[in-house]
Amino acid sequence: PICLTIVIVLLALFVTTIYFPKLEKYVQIICMIPYTIQGVILSVSILSLYVGSSTFLSNRLVMLFGAYCIIILPYIYQGIRNGMRAVNMPMLLEAAEMLGASKLYAFFKVIVPNILSAIIVSSLLAVGIIFGDYVLIRNLAGTSFPNLQIFLYQTMKSDSTKSSAVFVVIMLVTFIITAIVLFLKSREAKGRKQKN
């Protein structure tokens, strides 16, 4: 879900920034809507819509994949959008076009490498959100596809020592994700200071 959402957001921001700048506010509104959707509401809505369908959308993993794409959309969008604004995307694209590159080529060869830290930070934030999810996976997949939160819930019922160990692992992984995000942000800030 993270890779798919990143590609969709990158292409949407490319099209709206270059060709339809007036539509950017509508794209932002659409991308921010999932902030208001709670996991229970989203999962029940998806189940009621697709569970009786005869298409591939009735597959529980496909439903979960789509739900995760929706939940992480605001975080991915905001991170990539901030990264694009920080590098002054229109000016870089104009410079690349003067050197003979097409807009799409310049976007993927010039802009994307310049906003790579923003993409990584957004991805790590999305990993943390998916990593901590309990409601969506419980409602959409049941116990067929347990994630770490469901495993923790099941071990709490049977063995408190094992559940404590699982909790420590969760905290360590969360700490590592946070440390990576903070390191990337501080490196990006140092890079900006050196350029100025």
CA dist 147 and 24 (Å) reads: 36
pLDDT tens string 134-192: 777 777 776 666 666 777 777 888 877 887 888 888 788 878 877 887 887 787 777 76
Buried b (16+ CB within 10 A) or exposed e, 138-147: bbbbeeeeeb
How many residues in total does the chain contain?
196
169 vs 167: CA distance, rounded Å: 5
Running DSSP on this structure, what letter comes out for residue 146? -
pLDDT in tens, 77-136: 999 998 888 888 888 888 888 888 888 888 888 888 888 888 888 888 888 788 777 777
Q: Taking each helix axis from N to C terminus, what angle separates 160-195 and 148-158, rounded to the nearest 10 degrees?
A: 150
Count structural domains, the chain: 1
Q: What distance in Å separates the CA atoms of residue 12 and residue 77, rounded to the nearest whole number?
A: 10
CATH number for the domain that contains residue 155? 1.10.3720.10
Full residue range of the structural domain in which residue 90 is found: 2-195
Per-residue pLDDT tens digits for 32-85: 888 887 777 787 887 777 777 788 877 777 888 888 888 889 999 999 998 888
